[in-house]
Every structure is written in C-alpha cells, then in structure tokens.
Chain A
Amino acid sequence: MAEITMPRLSDTMQEGTLARWLKKPGDEIKKGDVLAEIETDKATMDLEAYDEGTLQQILVQEGETVPIGQVVAMIGSGAAVQQPAPTPTPSPADASADGAGTARARAASPPQAEKSDASKSMVADESDTRQEVKASPLARRLADEHGIELGQLKGTGPGGRIVRDDIEDFLEQRGTPAAQPAQPQPTAAPQEAPTTTPQPVVAQASAPADAEAIPFSRVQSLIARRLAEAKQTIPHFYVSTEIDMTETLAMRQVFNASADEDGVKVTVNDLIVKACALALEKFPDFNSTFRDGQFYRHRHINVGFAVDVPSGLVVPVIRDTNIKGVRSIAREAKTLIEKARANRLASVDLEGGTFSVSNLGMMDVSEFIAVINPPQTAILAIASTRKQYVPVNDQPVIRDLMTVTLSADHRLLYGAAVARFLQEVKRLLQSPYSLLG
C-alpha cells in the first residue's frame, strides 16, 4: 500500500485544499494520472500519481485543507476498502502548548509586579539618579570608579551633560589626582598628571623612611572617599543628650528571660533602633536623603546600624523598622551581623537606608560624634551606659545613663528640631514599654 500525500506545489505553500477528486476508490491508477485538483496559495494545480495500483481509500474530502505531507489517499493492489474518512485533527501539541505558555506567562507577571513595587521605594533613589542626571557613558564610569555622586556635579558638556572634563575638574578640586581609566594605553606619550590606579591604593606617595604604606582594599578606598566627601560637603552640627536607660535595661532582661528556644535575644541596640524608628515617624525630616541638590522625605523608615567588620565598616539596613516588633528587629539584626562578619551581605541589605545608628556602647566610651552616612541627613552616635548617681526626690539614686549625640545636616535640620527629636528618642527609651507593639 502506498500513501498519497498532499504535495508541496510552490516554494511558499504550507497547506493545500483538496478542491476536487477526479478518481474514486476502486479506480485503477497509472503513473502520471491526475488524481485530484489542489488549490494552493497561488493557483490550482494537479495532484499527480507517482505510484500505480487501485485507489483504496480517500482520507481527505473535497473542500478540506490539510498541511503538506499529510496523507490524502491510499493506493494499493486489490479491492477498494470503503471506510469513513477520519476527520483530520489539528495537532494537539500546539493547542496545549499555547495554553500552557499563556498560563505561565500570566502566572509570571504578578510576582514581577509585586517585586517592582516593593523595590521601587527602596532602590528608586538609585535609579532616579541614573535617569535624571545627563552624563556621558565615560563620565558615569569614572564617577562610579571614584565614588562620586553625579548629582554633585554640574555638567558642562552639550545639553548640560556631565562629561569627563567635569569629573576631572572635580577630582582636581578634591585633591585626588585623576585616576586614568583602566584601559590599555597603546600610545608612547605619557600623561603628565601622575596616575593613580583605582585600586588598591588611595593616594600615591613615596613612603617615608621609617614607615610603610598601608594597603587599602577597594572597599576601604570607597569608604574613605565617601567619608571625606560627607565631611566636606555636609555642614554637620551636633546635639547631645543623656538618656536614663535603667528602665530599658530592666525591660530587656524581662524580655530575654521569657525568650524561648529560638534563642533570639533582644539587644540594647535593637531597642535603640526601634526607638529611633518611632521617633522618625514623628519627625519625618530626619528620615530624609539629599540627592541632586534636593532633599527628599521618605515614606518608609529604614534604619541602618553600623557593624564593624574585618573589611571595614558596613551599615546594614532594617527596612520598615517602625512597624516591626522588637523581636523581629532583633532577629533581623542578628542575621545581618552574621552576614556582615562573613562578608556575605547583599547589596539589597545595604541599600535604601534613611537614618543610621552607630553604637560604640560596648567599648568604654563616654561620648562620640559620628559622620553622617550620605545621602542621609542624620546619624545617632550611642556611647556606653554607665552607672551614675542622679537626684531623685532629692535622694541620690544609682541609674544607668547613656550619652547619645546626633549629627545632623544643618542645611535641612536646625538646632531646635534636633533637640526635639532627641527628646522623643529619650522619652521612648525612658518609658520603654512604648517600644513594644
């Protein structure tokens, strides 16, 4: 038995319509006989027989359209076989594949949407910078390498674009000699500006005879630059206050005593972070950042806390600190500290902070001043808690006192506001049950 298939009759043909059968089952077929008329995309053509025999079965009826290669009839020796022609089915694979495909596509979209919403507020600032400031690709790269905030620069290129010239101006002014972009330099002529490689050394000078150069990692260089920038560009001023931590410490003990086997103990730092977060709800100006010459108040309160690690200093961030319970904060902080110490912090752990806390209380420090962490506008420095005598009802009583100092960006924050903010932090820590819930 031989199959007669829908032939390919033109280079663009994909399927053909069986217009008219010219033979019927039982007919004798010789090679070259025209069996049927086929309608193609271009013309009506003949279906020629390549085999001889008796037409056994017609499988495709007049008017039906089938793809090329599909069997339309059977030729064999012997009598005709009368059978109802099976209806051609479109290949099921395609239909379900489409269905599955669309379902998958639809399923994929909601999580994406969520993710973008969540990350919007957090990384919005980062992306906003890239879109709002016009800079040449080279200038962006140089800015990244030197840790320069593009927003600080005024562009002198076409359309106010920041170009290499502007970066070089800035670096010169800052005192850092311009680092050459790390590209192969095929020319023989040397650049007259002394070159510094972006890593690992911060400044290049020949070491004095009795000293050795301190090697800086890339991270350290970056931190160094940011700190220098912060001090140079932000007008810092400082306000201190003494907080009576006796109640907080007592509450903490109660809290941790009832801690179950999950073992997360709340630290003083956790409580201070919560207190700051609640205070920031009342004083939103302190929950701001400064970018491109503009201060922005943030809707989410993300408090970062400094962690001392071998590779330097990192400030992991706890998001939405104000709406998290102290235990959650404690848990998160513990995880972040572990990650920091293992050098496994992800960028998402470090991004989006709106306020920072720096705690040296575990060292014997009476007070200290912290450097604001740009682009933030304030940072709270926590010193050690010490037992001291204070008058209560004219009687000397021993209380645990802790000095805190707030460093603030004087462009946005003035003395009275800072004092009031500190009062609120003090109030919360001195009646610590307000921290719960």
Chain B
Amino acid sequence: MAEITYRQALHDALREELLRDEHVFLLGEEIGVFEGSYKITAGLLTEFGPRRVVDTPIVENGFVGMAVGAAMLGLRPIVEIMTINFIVLAMDQIVNQAAKIYAMFGGQCPVPLVIRTPGGGGQQLAATHSQNLEVWFAHVPGLKVVAPSTPADAKGLLRASVRDNNPVIFLENLALYNVKGEAPRDDYMVPIGKAQVTKEGADLTVISYSRMAAVALDVARRLEQENRLSVEVVDLRSLRPLDRETIVNSVRKTNRAIVFEEDWRSFGIGAEIAALLQEEAFDDLDAPIKRVASLEVPLPYSKPLELATLTGSKQLIEAINELAPRRRRRVNHGRNNHAPAQ
C-alpha cells in the first residue's frame, strides 16, 4: 500500500491505462501543454506524445462527439471536461448520441467512452463554476455514472470505467484532489455498481457520495470517538447503477437514514434514495428519511454567503442530532451490558 493523493491516484491510473492499451487516448482542454487545469494529466504529454494526449479547443460538444465517434470505431477515449459546469455544452453528444447509439442501432456499436469531470464548490468560484449536475446523467439509461470519494476508489474505479464498454461519467471533486489516502499498488479494480459501507454503525445510516462521503465518514468517526452515537456510513461510489441492496440492508439494520449530498435537494440524488428506501424498507423505517443538501440558490461568491449556502459537516451533525433515536444501540464487541438510555 502507498499513501497518495486523489490527484496522484487519477494520474497513475491514466498513465497505467495509456501504457496498457494502445486504444486508450486522452483528450480535453489544456490537458497537454498546460498539464491540465488541475494538473491531473501532468507529464503525460511528454511521456506519450500528442497522438495519445490531445489538446482540444474550447468545443465541448465537438470534442465529446469526436470522442464518441472514435469510440464507435473501437478506440477508448478518456475525455476530460474541465469542470462539470461545462458539460452542459456537450449534452447532445452525451445524452442523445453516446447514451443511445448502442441501443438505437440494435446492439451493433458499443461506445467505450469515459468522461472525467470534477464537480462541487467551495472555492468561491461563484454560480456557474460550482455546480453538482451528476443527477442529470444518473437519470439517463445508457450512461453509467461513478463518483469515488477516496484515492483508492478513484484509481480502482477509473480502471473499471476505462475497461467498461459503455459511456461512463466519472465524477471527481475539486476539493478532493488534495486528499490523501491509502491505495494498493497492484492492478485492482473497484466494480461499477457497488457501494461500500465505509463505517459500520447501529443508530442511523448516512448515505453519501464523492466529497460528502468523505465528510460523512469524518463526522461519523468523531461521533463514535466521543462516544455519542454509532453512525453507519454508506459511500455510494456508483450513482448509475445504484447499489440498492447495500443501501437497503443498511437502513433495515439501523432503521433511520440521512442522505448527505452537495447538490440541490429538489429532484436530487437523495430523492431517488429516499424513494428507493420507502419502497423496499418501508416496514423498517422508524423515521422519515432526511436529505441534507445545499441551499437551492445559485451559489453566491462572497465567502460567508458561500459557506452558508453549501452544505457541510455542520448541517450533517444537526441532522444527525435531530434524527438520532433516544435509545442508542451501541455496537459492543462481546460485552453484554445495556447502553444507558439518554
């Protein structure tokens, strides 16, 4: 194992895929000479040359479509869209073409494409540079959407995405790039469509993904340490397909759930999770499902306003306190005493 940053994990995975498979190539704005606006692709142009690492002009629809066309002929492009805010310019090629070509043409033409893009806010980049639009793509049949929250998952999931024969939206997060974590050195893969229980607990479940999953884990660990509450954390890792089984099993166990998401609450990712839980775990619910999300407004620039608008650990803790059951079920390993009712 090695401790690496999320950024390093992505870089290494890209490099290893470029080495492993001649069909893989990268394209996107400023990924070559500029070494990537977030330096994910640093050094790759020098190592692999302009044929494998392609700088594009500012034409999201054009170069995403170009990647789709290349994938139709068997190449395996990895497109970088500088931030998810610009993905809207490529909606036709992603939703109308990439997602539909395999089905529409009777299964004759797979589209093995990966679109990497970071979402999220918190850097005072204001309304059009701070969004979380992944739910739009999670809605579309024909696409797959993944969202790793740790360096290990980033590496394993990127590999799996490149090797999948379908278009995959690979969601990163600006604030995750510098996060460090342990990652195995070998050629492991994280399967698409599998969530992970990153912390076991008994009193309630927090379901999350991407940066918020990391925040949730941190909060849950602190609460456990302070001996206050036993929170289980489910990191979705994949938004489409969704790992329904893991989510449902967790809430069947704890009976209370919070969805913690950076996107907007209405019609967001949490809406699907809440619907799923009431469908499949209705008789195990001890309380309505809570959704903790960012305020539904275009994100303001000014720092105090931005902090108030974006959701975070403070809002999660508030929600946990509201939802926590009166009688705590402590997860004791082997001891037989009752937890004191609080």
- Pair from one complex: yes
Which residues of A line the B interface, CB within 8 A?
A: 136-141, 156-158, 163-165, 168-169, 181, 183-194
How many Å from the CB of B112 to the closest CB on chain A? 34
Cβ–Cβ contact A189 & B333, under 8 A: yes
How many Å from the CB of A258 to the closest CB on chain B? 56
Given A183-B252, A189-B202, verify A139-B330 contact (CB < 8 Å). Answer: no
User: Which chain A residues lie closer than 8 Å to B337 at the CB level?
Assistant: 192
Q: Name the residue on B nearest A183 (C-beta).
A: B252
B227 within 8 A of A: no
User: Which chain B residues lie closer than 8 Å to A164 at the CB level?
Assistant: 255, 286, 325, 327
Tell me the bound Cα distance from A188 to B232 in angstroms.
Answer: 13
B282 within 8 A of A: yes
User: Which chain B residues lie closer than 8 Å to A186 at the CB level?
Assistant: 249, 253
Tell me the bound Cα distance from A417 to B251 in angstroms.
Answer: 53
User: Which chain A residues lie closer than 8 Å to B334 at the CB level?
Assistant: 190
Cβ–Cβ contact A185 & B253, under 8 A: yes
Cβ–Cβ contact A163 & B330, under 8 A: no
Cβ–Cβ contact A187 & B200, under 8 A: yes
Cβ–Cβ contact B200 & A165, under 8 A: no
Cβ–Cβ contact A181 & B284, under 8 A: yes
Which one, A136, A190, A192, contacts B285 given CB within 8 A? A136
User: Which chain A residues lie closer than 8 Å to B185 at the CB level?
Assistant: none
Interface flags for B320-332 (1: CB within 8 Å of A; 0: not) read 0000011101111
Cβ–Cβ contact A141 & B287, under 8 A: no
How many Å from the CB of B287 to the closest CB on chain A? 6
Task: Name the residue in B200, B252, B282, B287 with the highest tally of chain A Cβ atoms < 10 Å from its Cβ.
Answer: B287
Task: Name the residue in A138, A169, A181, A194 with the highest tally of chain B Cβ atoms < 10 Å from its Cβ.
Answer: A138
Cβ–Cβ contact A156 & B285, under 8 A: no
Cβ–Cβ contact A137 & B282, under 8 A: yes
B20 within 8 A of A: no
B225 within 8 A of A: no
Which one, B284, B331, B339, B341, contacts A183 given CB within 8 A? B284
Tell me the bound Cα distance from A190 to B325 in angstroms.
Answer: 19
How many Å from the CB of A257 to the closest CB on chain B? 58
Tell me the bound Cα distance from A248 to B20 in angstroms.
Answer: 101
How many Å from the CB of A351 to the closest CB on chain B? 23
Interface size class, chain B: 20 to 34
Cβ–Cβ contact A189 & B327, under 8 A: no
Tell me the bound Cα distance from A141 to B285 in angstroms.
Answer: 10
User: Which chain B residues lie closer than 8 Å to A158 at the CB level?
Assistant: 287
Interface flags for B198-209 (1: CB within 8 Å of A; 0: not) read 001010000000
Which one, B249, B330, B339, B341, contacts A184 given CB within 8 A? B249
How many Å from the CB of B284 to the closest CB on chain A? 5
B338 within 8 A of A: yes
Q: Name the residue on B nearest A163 (C-beta).
A: B286
User: Which chain B residues lie closer than 8 Å to A192 at the CB level?
Assistant: 330, 332, 335-339
User: Which chain A residues lie closer than 8 Å to B331 at the CB level?
Assistant: 187, 189
Tell me the bound Cα distance from A141 to B281 in angstroms.
Answer: 12
Given A165-B325, A165-B326, verify A189-B287 contact (CB < 8 Å). Answer: no
How many Å from the CB of A278 to the closest CB on chain B? 45
8 A Cβ contacts from B47-66 to A: none
User: Which chain B residues lie closer than 8 Å to A136 at the CB level?
Assistant: 285-287
Tell me the bound Cα distance from A185 to B335 in angstroms.
Answer: 18
How many Å from the CB of B66 to the closest CB on chain A? 33
Tell me the bound Cα distance from A184 to B330 in angstroms.
Answer: 18
User: Which chain B residues lie closer than 8 Å to A181 at the CB level?
Assistant: 284
Tell me the bound Cα distance from A164 to B284 in angstroms.
Answer: 10
Tell me the bound Cα distance from A194 to B287 in angstroms.
Answer: 25
How many Å from the CB of B212 to the closest CB on chain A? 23
How many Å from the CB of A363 to the closest CB on chain B? 44
Tell me the bound Cα distance from A156 to B287 in angstroms.
Answer: 12
User: Which chain A residues lie closer than 8 Å to B335 at the CB level?
Assistant: 192
User: Which chain A residues lie closer than 8 Å to B326 at the CB level?
Assistant: 156, 163, 165
User: Which chain B residues lie closer than 8 Å to A137 at the CB level?
Assistant: 282-286
Tell me the bound Cα distance from A354 to B338 in angstroms.
Answer: 41
Please, could you name 7 A-B residue pairs with CB atoms under 8 Å apart, sorted by A? A136-B285, A164-B255, A164-B327, A186-B253, A190-B333, A190-B334, A192-B332
Given A156-B326, A189-B333, A192-B330, verify A138-B286 contact (CB < 8 Å). Answer: yes
User: Which chain A residues lie closer than 8 Å to B285 at the CB level?
Assistant: 136-138
Tell me the bound Cα distance from A335 to B333 in angstroms.
Answer: 56
Tell me the bound Cα distance from A139 to B338 in angstroms.
Answer: 20
Tell me the bound Cα distance from A220 to B330 in angstroms.
Answer: 33
Closest 3 CB pairs of A and B: A189-B331, A138-B286, A165-B326
Tell me the bound Cα distance from A363 to B65 in angstroms.
Answer: 91
Q: Name the residue on A nearest B334 (C-beta).
A: A190
User: Which chain B residues lie closer than 8 Å to A157 at the CB level?
Assistant: 286-287
List 14 additional A-B contacts (Cβ < 8 Å) besides A137-B283, A137-B286, A184-B249: A137-B284, A138-B283, A140-B283, A141-B284, A164-B325, A169-B327, A183-B252, A183-B253, A184-B252, A185-B253, A190-B333, A191-B329, A192-B337, A192-B339
Tell me the bound Cα distance from A157 to B255 in angstroms.
Answer: 13
Which one, A163, A165, A187, A190, contacts B253 given CB within 8 A? A187
Tell me the bound Cα distance from A141 to B286 in angstroms.
Answer: 10
Cβ–Cβ contact A139 & B286, under 8 A: yes
